[in-house]
């Protein structure tokens, strides 16, 4: 969900060999984006590649309104990868707060260490080097290369996949997991021009976030409604596997969150008894704590003490 308002295009050569079949979609969507794009801090030039990377880690499965305050605090404390790398990984977990999925904090810390050690503290522009960083997958590497460096890559998040599923494929929702067919379609839809491709990646993502949403889509505001295959077909209902919303209350995720909250607020090691008080069911509590230890989010110490990791 990120992109500089005016990305520094031209750092990557245009490798397209054929004219993009999605050209009728490009101008309307990009023109809409130029008018309606949200003013987000990671889209501003001063955010730089590190700001874009931080936002991409935080925005995974987390809405913008929850990310904004944590992002601002994070960049104020750690304006460069080396600043984060110099801290204990537990400090990244502490600063992550209640964003959820805290392993992302450890992965971002690991990426910062690797950037500092391998690339002199600068987020690499090369896609392969980005992909080689710990905690960086296919999506994040493409997003950083595109949004921070204006390169030509297919950037496929949930919002983009939904836009393509409806506008081009004619179905209400994409598959639960990204498929090879979706990747081929995304590459086929990429504009030839590098700068236009980077803008298209950001614009199509914003369209999915604001207009072509999962529920209550606003077709009357969509710049490509007249071309949308799903709309033209009468909006047929989803025929794939049932789409189940994620639950939280009573799950191990909730227990893990409560245990981590105790450790984040502590200034030193915490005894087992302090952790026992946050959840009534001992088997589930022990399972959640064991999972946190296995994930490297909690470090057990002698004497039944626990703390956020120092190494």
Do 109 and 84 meet the contact criterion of CB atoms below 8 Å apart? yes
Number of Cβ within 10 Å of residue 265's Cβ equals 9
Cα radius of gyration rounded to whole Å, the chain: 21
Cα 119 from Cα 133, distance rounded (Å) = 10
Catalytic: 56? Answer: yes
**CA dihedral of 30, 205, 155, 162, whole degrees rounded to 10:** -120
Listed residue (105, 124, 104) closest to 114, CA to CA: 124
Number of Cβ within 10 Å of residue 51's Cβ equals 23
Cα 291 from Cα 302, distance rounded (Å) = 18
Supply 198's token pair.
């980077």
3-state secondary structure of 300: strand
The residue from 23, 46, 56, 192 that is catalytic is 56
CA 84 vs CA 3, 58, 300: distances in Å? 23, 15, 23
Residues recognised as catalytic: 56
């Amino acid at each position: 969900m990120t992109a500089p308002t005016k990305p520094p295009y031209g750092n990557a050569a245009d490798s397209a060999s054929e004219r993009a079949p999605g050209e009728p979609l490009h101008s309307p969507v990009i023109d809409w984006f130029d008018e309606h794009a949200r003013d987000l801090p990671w889209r501003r030039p001063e955010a730089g590649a590190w700001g874009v990377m931080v936002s991409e880690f935080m925005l995974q499965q987390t809405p913008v309104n929850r990310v904004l305050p944590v992002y601002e605090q994070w960049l104020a404390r750690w304006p460069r990868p080396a600043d984060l790398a110099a801290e204990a990984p537990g400090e990244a977990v502490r600063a992550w707060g209640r964003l959820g999925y805290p392993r992302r904090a450890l992965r971002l810390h690991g990426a910062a260490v690797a950037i500092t050690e391998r690339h002199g503290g600068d987020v690499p522009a090369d896609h392969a080097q980005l992909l080689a960083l710990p905690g960086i997958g296919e999506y994040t590497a493409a997003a950083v290369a595109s949004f921070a460096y204006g390169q030509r890559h297919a950037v496929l998040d949930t919002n983009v996949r939904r836009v393509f599923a409806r506008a081009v494929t004619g179905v209400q929702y994409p598959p639960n997991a990204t498929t090879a067919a979706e990747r081929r379609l995304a590459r086929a839809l990429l504009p030839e021009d590098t700068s236009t491709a980077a803008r298209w990646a950001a614009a199509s993502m914003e369209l999915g976030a604001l207009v072509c949403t999962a529920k209550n889509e606003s077709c009357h505001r969509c710049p490509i409604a007249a071309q949308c295959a799903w709309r033209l077909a009468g909006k047929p209902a989803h025929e794939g596997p049932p789409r189940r919303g994620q639950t939280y209350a009573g799950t191990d995720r909730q227990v893990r969150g409560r245990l981590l909250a105790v450790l984040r607020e502590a200034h030193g090691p915490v005894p087992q008894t302090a952790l026992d008080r946050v959840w009534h069911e001992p088997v589930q509590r022990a399972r959640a704590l064991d999972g946190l230890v296995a994930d490297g989010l909690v470090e057990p110490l002698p004497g039944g003490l626990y703390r956020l990791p120092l190494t």
